[in-house]
Structure 1
Amino acid sequence: ALFDSLNLLDNVAFPLVKGRVPVASLPRKQKKKVSSAVFDILEKVGLGQAAFKVPAQLSGGMKRRAALARALVEKPDLVFLDDPTAGLDPVTSSAIIDLIYNLHAEYGPTMIVVSQDLRRLLPLCHQVFWLHNGKIQFKGSVDEIPSSGYSELIRFVACRFDIDAKCTTVEGKD
């Protein structure tokens, strides 16, 4: 989530400066370094021109892109994304998934994405984990899901993604 009272520059810079915002109040050398990093990532997510806008001035998709920028500005090895397309229209959702894919390709972090937007997300996944009753029940590739034997997983995925399974009861390990 973004801080409502901070513009995008300060929101994205927040982890870099350990919350010492606004960026404008930083010593000159640090301000230049932080601003450069923030403007670079904002450009990559298509928000370079929005650096001085506050969240209330942004669309839902712009807010998601800003949150991605803040998550990646420190170039972490691991990024958690919790339903990054929730509440967005289909076109914006596709753009966000494309952006996640491109940022992963450029920065290379391991990304753990929790989502029900399987139609857009599964084609990009290397590994799928299925949690059921609080435990990992399945770990494998997308291609392994139809033969997993977990009927509930197969139905869940088949109803949202084009795999060779039906949205009906399948006998299995459930």
Structure 2
Amino acid sequence: MENQKKNQWISPEEAYIYVGQQKLRRGYTTGSCAAAAAQAAARVLFGEEEPKTVELTVPKGLTLCIPVHSVQKYEGQAQASVCKDSGDDPDVTDHIEVVVSIQPNPTPGITIRGGQGVGRVTKPGLEMPVGEAAINKTPRRMIREQIELVQQEHPEWEGVGLLVTVSIP
């Protein structure tokens, strides 16, 4: 049962990868966790029931069913979290909780910022400019796409500016 709660891929053949002769269970990235948490938070903010899982298609075209760890709604904002599962090739971020909060913002569009536990770019040479939250281009795009997906299902929220904060407490 514990394994069923972890890393649930839509199709069973996608759940594993072979490295040489070794069969390894796939995990998901910190960016995928942030995008899934953003989708869950948006759903709650826009008036839906608290999701237990969210479906997320990753840039490689695979679709995940990611368990939502927690969801909270406060006045004017919602927050959701996903606990990272690094699969059979774990890294230091395995089992961390990735938290995303979303609230309306007077600035148009979707503004993504880093909160507690998210580093800042300190030297040139990375995708993001110095001083910006260390959330790379692909995870930013995934977060934005998930929120826009939910906005399309709720026309009353289309065009509303949103402030998205990604934290790793």
Q: Which structure has more strand as a fraction of its residues? A: 2
Q: Which structure has more helix as a fraction of its residues? A: 1
Q: Return the index of the structure with the highest Cα Rg.
A: 1
The two structures have a TM-score, normalised by structure 1, of: 0.27
